[in-house]
């Protein structure tokens, strides 16, 4: 078994063992500030659902129920960050959000996105990297009405999760092709993993720099006011 096949089987086994509760928790985290990419979860929901339909994986989640659970997990995570933004306000979000992994520049960019597009941004933001993690907070800060927020969030999450799960279903139907061209696919997977690692490392570095700059800006006024010891 080649590298790509091992990765696919590992992720498929993980989703099967975690079940619906695991799908809910992973998609809950994905809709907050936790770096859990949805494309590492929902495609394998479709993949194992296809094996369930074939009778090869009897304990796997069912396709439509798996998508629904993913949507509910995403909604729960989005509501959490929505109420956080509504309760804490802009200053509170910047103060406390950094402990949960929020990057101030990303939040500011998402707020501009929300200001330009209004309520529709909650729907469109589900398909945009970075924005999808912060759009609920921006909506909470803006005190967007709850009912439209839930409607937009569920619609966007359903379309996105259905697309990813269908991609996993399609992948399983063409698994023989993956096996036939495993060598070049393995090379592509290694490049993608390396690129993903570098991207995450870059994001963490940005986050650390932002936190250090914030701490430095807060400490500088105190340093200026401190006695110098001169008469």
Model confidence at 199: pLDDT above 90 = no
The highest-confidence range among 139-153, 170-184, 217-231, by mean pLDDT, is 139-153
Under 8 Å CB-to-CB from 24, ≥6 apart: which residues?
69, 70, 72, 73, 76
Which residue in the block uniquely carries the two structure tokens 């993980």? 14
* Predicted model pTM: 0.72
Task: Determine, yes or no, domain membership for 170.
Answer: yes
Task: Determine, yes or no, domain membership for 215.
Answer: no
More confident site: 98 or 63: 63
Model confidence at 207: pLDDT above 80 = no
If you average pLDDT over residues 173-200, what whole number do you get?
A: 59
pLDDT tens digits for 99-114? 666 667 777 778 888 8
pLDDT tens digits for 113-169? 888 888 888 888 888 877 787 888 888 888 999 999 999 999 999 999 999 999 888
Task: Determine, yes or no, domain membership for 208.
Answer: no
CA–CA gap between residue 185 and residue 171 (Å, rounded): 13
Task: Determine, yes or no, domain membership for 91.
Answer: yes
Q: How many angstroms separate the Cα of 63 from the Cα of each of 58, 109, 166, 188?
A: 13, 35, 9, 28
> What was the pLDDT predicted at 217?
65
Task: Determine, yes or no, domain membership for 228.
Answer: no
> What was the pLDDT predicted at 181?
47
Task: Determine, yes or no, domain membership for 190.
Answer: no
Q: How many angstroms separate the Cα of 197 from the Cα of each of 9, 14, 17, 188, 192?
A: 21, 21, 26, 14, 8
Our CA angle for 208, 209, 211, nearest 5°, is: 65
Model confidence at 208: pLDDT above 90 = no
Model confidence at 6: pLDDT above 80 = no
Q: What range defines the domain where residue 149 resides?
A: 3-180
More confident site: 67 or 133: 67
Domain total of the chain: 1
Instruction: Identify the three-state secondary structure at position 150.
Output: helix
Task: Determine, yes or no, domain membership for 207.
Answer: no
Task: Determine, yes or no, domain membership for 34.
Answer: yes
More confident site: 231 or 188: 188
Mean pLDDT estimate for the chain: 77
């Amino acid at each position: 078994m080649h590298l790509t096949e091992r990765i696919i089987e590992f992720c498929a086994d993980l989703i099967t063992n975690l079940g619906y509760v695991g799908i809910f928790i992973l998609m809950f985290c994905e809709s907050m500030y936790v770096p859990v990419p949805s494309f590492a979860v929902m495609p394998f929901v479709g993949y194992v659902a296809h094996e369930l339909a074939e009778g090869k994986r009897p304990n796997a989640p069912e396709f439509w129920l798996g998508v629904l659970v993913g949507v509910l997990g995403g909604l729960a995570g989005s509501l959490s960050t929505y109420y956080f933004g509504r309760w804490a306000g802009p200053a509170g979000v910047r103060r406390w959000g950094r402990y949960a992994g929020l990057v101030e520049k990303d939040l500011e960019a998402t707020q501009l996105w929300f200001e330009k597009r209004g309520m529709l941004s909650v729907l469109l933001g589900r398909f945009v990297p970075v924005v999808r993690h912060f759009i609920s907070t921006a909506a909470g800060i803006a005190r967007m009405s709850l009912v439209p927020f839930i409607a937009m969030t569920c619609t966007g999450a359903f379309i996105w999760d259905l697309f990813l799960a269908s991609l996993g279903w399609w992948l399983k139907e063409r698994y023989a092709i993956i096996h036939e061209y495993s060598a070049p696919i393995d090379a592509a997977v290694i490049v993608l993993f390396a690129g993903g690692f570098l991207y995450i490392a870059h994001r963490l570095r940005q986050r650390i720099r932002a936190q250090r700059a914030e701490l430095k800006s807060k400490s500088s006024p105190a340093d200026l006011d401190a006695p110098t010891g001169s008469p």
